Amino acid sequence: MSEYLSLKEAEHLAEEMAPFPRPAIASVLAGMVRSPEETLKQAFAHPIMDYAHILAAVGGVYWTLNFLVAQASARATGLGPALAFGLVGGAALGIAYLYALTVLLVWSVDILDGEPHRKQIRMALAYAGVPAVLALVLVTVPRILIFGSALFQPGWGWVAQNPAVAWALAAGDVAFLLWSVVLVVKGLRLMNEFHVGRALAALVVPLAPMALIGMLFWVLMAVGGFFQAEH
């Protein structure tokens, strides 16, 4: 019996040590659209950290460019500097955000009696960022091509230029954001065998303090923009 168990352990170890056929990143993108559960399971079994970094960086570009458009109501920014910072700074911020949010999710999963594994959480977050990658191509790039430098000027006058297009693109942003949240919850559920409610709680617990900090940041930015406009 002990010999049989030793043989099974050896087979299991050999399976774990066997080389894993690395999928193309295009296959990962397609997989997250067509069969996200299977793609996430493969990512958890064989984490590819450079893919996580690439997806986080591209997602960071998307969110940074959106942030620059949003804050333009308080401060004008040239198109060139905004794009430069969005590409370079956004990529760095995206990777930093990946690691910062991983720390918070490790904590929340742990207090909810899950099994937090940092690499798996990073993979879940990065792969759940695939909607942000698609939104960058399908929403942000068209927005920049259509409205150009007006996006980064005070007053959001670009919305008045073509309200139908502006609001359609904004709706696209919301749809991709909701899709990303659904994928994060799915990843936490698969990783820890949580039910949907507990997986959602694992996401909400660390987001609550982040939301409060974000609200404070937006208030301070709005107040700063008001005083700047007065003077």
Instruction: Tell me the pLDDT tens digit for each residue of 170-193.
Output: 999 999 999 999 998 898 888 877
**What was the pLDDT predicted at 36?**
93
* DSSP element (H, E) containing 117: none
Residue 14 reports pLDDT greater than 50? no
Which residue is listed with tokens 């949240």? 181
Helix axes 163-192, 118-127, angle to 10 degrees: 150
Residue 2 reports pLDDT greater than 60? no
Report yes or no: 127 and 184 within 8 Å, Cβ to Cβ.
no
Length of the chain as a residue count: 231
Average pLDDT value for residue range 129-157: 91
Cβ atoms within 10 A of the Cβ of 32, count? 24
Question: Where along the chain do its domains lie?
Answer: 45-230
pTM: 0.78
- Terminal CA-CA length for the chain: 84
**What token pair was written down for 178?**
């909701």
**What was the pLDDT predicted at 214?**
57
Confidence of residue 153 (pLDDT cuts 50, 70, 90): confident
Confidence of residue 15 (pLDDT cuts 50, 70, 90): very low
Residue 71's identity, in one-letter code, is: Q
**What token pair was written down for 127?**
């792969």
Q: What is the largest CA-CA distance in the chain?
A: 84
**What was the pLDDT predicted at 210?**
62
Q: Say which residues have a Cβ less than 8 Å from residue 115's Cβ, sequence separation at least 6.
A: 109, 191, 192
